Amino acid sequence: MKDLLIIALLLTFFGANSQEKYWVYFTDKNNVSFEAENYFHPNAIARRNRISYPLNHSTDLPVNMLYKSEVSNRVDEYLGASRWLNAAVVMANEEQIEAIEKLPFVKHVEPSGFVKMICSTEESVESDSDFERQDLMRFQIERMQADKFAANGYRGKGIRIAIFDAGFPGVDEAEMFEHIRARDGIKGTYDFIRKTENVYRKISHGSTVLSCIAGIAGDSIMLGVAPDADFLLAITEKLMKEGLAEEEAWLFAAEWADKNGVDIINSSLGYTRRSHFKTDMDGNTTVITKAANLASSKGILVVSSAGNEGNKNNWMMMAAPADGDSVLAVGAINPWSGFHTSFSSFGPSADKELKPNVTGVGHVVAYGVNDKLHMTQGTSFSAPLIAGFAACAWQANPGLSNWELLKRIEQSGDLYPYFDYAHGYGVPQATAFLQDQPKQALHPDSLFNIHIEQETITVGIRDEYLNQDSLDVQTNIPDRVANKIMERINENVNLPIDEEHPFEKRELFYYHIENNANYLDEFSVVSVDENPILQLDIENLNGTLRFHYRGVTKEIHF
């Protein structure tokens, strides 16, 4: 009995004195001074003016110094304060937090703690031959038609991009980034973990991400499409072995990037299942998503990896901040199959918003250790491909706001107006932002054969538009949405391969069923090697059936 009492006392002692991370939110910003013209980079002021955003918005005012001091004196470790959230983040025990909650200027206190996931994956690469590596470098750009940006003189010039990641070793020395260094294109660096300007350390994930935006291999081979953009590089993450992610570092980096005039933030880091419920992925709950939405409200386009949870049955949905309603969430397609790759996270968000917004090639050739090219994969790398695309699109259309640009990128998707929770609106196409007129789409009546009978609807393709892409059916069912995604079975597929270009856009048939609450009950990708393509029981249809093939979308209401 005595031993049990001692154990109970020890548990009580350590429970009361164990430190946890907390956000302390303040009631106001009384008695603070702020001069926007002296604080912001001219680019940040111009960005605000472009969207009619106040230069003295309350979220930009500094946190009250007295409030910060009072809280700092009552905790073991003060980690920093956020203007945007009007809050401080601290390490404290329960007794200290109870005292802080009683302060008259404290609005409320929230516990904090996320586990990070860098959005690259160890999924094996189907091939690493020199032949395919060379063609993949072409395809990861041409799949977006983004080579047309360069042909028209758009390479991201005048656009400032911030990359938040885990490290950028080699960027200060590698030949692949010499063109950026030569023109002083790195406009700022900061390590928000060690509080130093040196970011050329730790793992090379951030260097690989940068190469997917602006890398040039050899003399002229572009790995990304915005080599003329300017960059801010921020370390916001500890090494994987350290466990807890520093979500406040992402927020502080966003405020720093805003102050220093960025136009685009690329984030290839995700926060998911180990510290969150799926219901938290609602676009408004996690601190990092709140920060991303605030950045967007100030005119910044936030591009985020959707995440690599697609093949993890205990999660499968996207990672924060991709759930943000103002965030351009990017999924991934497999260049061998032409559609969703197995690791790419599914939508929708917990509040049924369409996610991902768009997709890009998720298996890429990019920067590797010691300035060597290597094939790698993950939504970590589809996102920066799209971020570079966005930079060129913005350069070509400088009058657009960030929100207008986001919607235009969605509308440029090769599936638009069709969408689903694996591909969003598809892969953005550069011709939508250039003067080139897009190819005239076929009329639905000249493409589809549709037969509606008493019990079934049958959809076929006119014989002259069938092709020989053969796919094997697999079914994934995250939550209650039946996502029937077809995976190519390499050994059973006999496709004609262009000896010069093994990677090409696959013409596949997509369909979804949208219910009357405006979200999808089912979506699928189907091969078009023989008719009928689709046959459904009408009694199971209650809403809208949409299908898409060769740039044509047809919808039928039931």
Q: What pLDDT, in 10s, does the model give residues 2-52?
A: 555 544 444 444 444 577 889 999 999 999 999 999 999 999 999 999 999
Average pLDDT over residues 113-134: 57
Q: In this structure, are residues 307 and 286 in contact, taking their beta carbons and an 8 Å threshold?
A: no
DSSP 8-state assignment for residue 441: P
Lowest mean pLDDT among 250-264, 349-363, 397-411: 349-363
230-274, pLDDT tens digit by residue? Answer: 999 999 987 654 334 577 889 999 999 999 999 999 999 876 655
pLDDT band at 407 (very low <50, low <70, confident <90, very high): very high
User: To 5 degrees, how large is the angle CA 199–CA 204–CA 208?
Assistant: 110
Average pLDDT over residues 423-436: 92
- How high is the pLDDT of residue 126? 45
Angstrom distances, CA of residue 181 to CA of 170, 190, 226, 266, 283: 12, 17, 14, 20, 37
Q: What CA–CA distance (Å, rounded) separates 355 from 350?
A: 10
- How high is the pLDDT of residue 243? 37
Query: What is the residue-wise DSSP string for 278-331?
Result: GGGTTTTSSHHHHHHHHHHHTTPEEEEE--S-TT-TT--BPPBTTT-TTSEEEE
Residue 280 has pLDDT above 90, yes or no: no
Strand intervals (E) in 322-387? 328-333, 358-361, 363-368, 372-377
- How high is the pLDDT of residue 11? 46
- How high is the pLDDT of residue 17? 59
Q: What CA–CA distance (Å, rounded) separates 91 from 79?
A: 7
More confident residue, 176 or 501: 176
Q: What CA–CA distance (Å, rounded) separates 42 from 51?
A: 15
pLDDT band at 325 (very low <50, low <70, confident <90, very high): very high
User: What CATH superfamily classification does 2-112 receive?
Assistant: Peptidase S8 propeptide/proteinase inhibitor I9 (3.30.70.80)
Phi, psi of 410, rounded to the nearest 5 degrees: -60, -45
- How high is the pLDDT of residue 477? 37
Average pLDDT over residues 112-132: 56
pLDDT band at 376 (very low <50, low <70, confident <90, very high): very high
Tell me which range, 245-249, 281-285, 540-544, is most confidently predicted by mean pLDDT. Answer: 540-544
Task: Provide, rounded to the nearest whole percent, the portion of the chain with pLDDT above 70.
Answer: 84
pLDDT band at 473 (very low <50, low <70, confident <90, very high): very low
The two tokens of residue 444 are 């639905």
- How high is the pLDDT of residue 472? 43
Q: What fold characterizes domain 157-425?
A: Rossmann fold (3.40.50)
DSSP 8-state assignment for residue 372: E
pLDDT band at 465 (very low <50, low <70, confident <90, very high): confident
Q: What CA–CA distance (Å, rounded) separates 127 from 448?
A: 36
For the chain, the structural domain boundaries read 2-112, 157-425, 444-557
Angstrom distances, CA of residue 363 to CA of 120, 137, 335, 385, 481: 10, 10, 7, 11, 26
Q: In this structure, are residues 450 and 458 in contact, taking their beta carbons and an 8 Å threshold?
A: yes
Residue 123 has pLDDT above 70, yes or no: no
More confident residue, 86 or 372: 86
User: To 5 degrees, how large is the angle CA 3–CA 6–CA 11?
Assistant: 125
Q: What CA–CA distance (Å, rounded) separates 148 from 429?
A: 10
Lowest mean pLDDT among 124-133, 442-451, 462-471, 548-557: 124-133
Lowest mean pLDDT among 247-251, 455-459, 498-502: 498-502
- How high is the pLDDT of residue 104? 97
Q: Which residues contact 358 (CB under 8 A, 6 or more apart)?
A: 328, 330, 331, 386, 409, 410, 413, 424, 425, 426, 427, 428
pLDDT band at 474 (very low <50, low <70, confident <90, very high): very low
- How high is the pLDDT of residue 202? 81
More confident residue, 312 or 5: 312
Dihedral sign for Cα atoms in the order 94, 96, 97, 98: positive
- How high is the pLDDT of residue 219? 79
More confident residue, 115 or 111: 111
